[in-house]
Amino acid sequence: MTKVLFVISAADRWTLNDGTVHPSGFWAEEVAVPHRIFTEAGWDITVATPGGKAPTLDHLSLGIAGGMPWKRRDVKRYLDDIETVLATPVPLDTVDADAFDVVFYPGGHGPMEDLAYDETSGALLANRLASGKPLALLCHAPAAILAATAPDGTSPFAGYRMTGLSNREELLNRFARKAPWLLEDRLKEAGVEYSKALIPLRPHIVVDRNLYTGQNPQSSEELAERLVADVGARPAN
């Protein structure tokens, strides 16, 4: 059975540059949709967070920003179904990522607060990239690569083609005008060959070698299905 490590931010906030705190966490669709697709493919999923802390849902993701009402209902229903799984993640620092066929990071603003600075996650990402095994990051989750460092001090992701939430999409959030930094800018500064969809909030994925990235929540389904297609679906035992 294909094994996937599903790494979710443990942050429940995003600290803005004026010191104010915006309640945050993971984005509902980015966890629910890939988790469902992987489960339907028969994959064995292990959820991990920094410190093994239960991840926090960003409630904005179940409001208007989360899409059409029918989609939000489906997403909430699925999250309710896996509530126990999300409430009991394993600590990220106890995980052997080499034991997994796929490593997947969903987004939300949470990664901007914790994974972007988490040394354990940074080392995992650097090692995973070098291993040649599939690694996927969605929306804000590419912020986690900022904690990854090559022996020479540069980013191991420099020169890779990637995507992630664009500046234009981020600034649709009024509070984001107080952001300490924007993801698109930081990815470019890290030496990533960044790309985005011509129209904001449209699905866009990029695959470069073993690295899979999705631009926004709307890319959740396409990214997860591409991983299943490339790695292979197997019947659940």
How would you classify residue 200: left for phi > 0, otherwise alpha for psi between -120 and 50, otherwise beta?
beta
- Per the listing, tokens 């490590």 go with 5
pLDDT computed for residue 100 by the predictor: 98
Its sign, for the CA torsion 143, 171, 139, 208, is negative
pLDDT computed for residue 233 by the predictor: 59
Positions in the chain short of pLDDT 70: 233-237
Report angle CA 185, 188, 193 to the nearest 5 degrees.
Answer: 140
Identify the H or E element spanning 35: helix 28-40
Q: Output the DSSP codes for 68-96.
A: SHHHHHHHHHHHHHTHHHHHSPEEGGG--
pLDDT computed for residue 232 by the predictor: 87
Question: Could you give the domains of the chain?
Answer: 3-231 (3.40.50.880)
Report angle CA 172, 109, 159 to the nearest 5 degrees.
Answer: 90
pLDDT computed for residue 236 by the predictor: 42
pLDDT computed for residue 2 by the predictor: 96
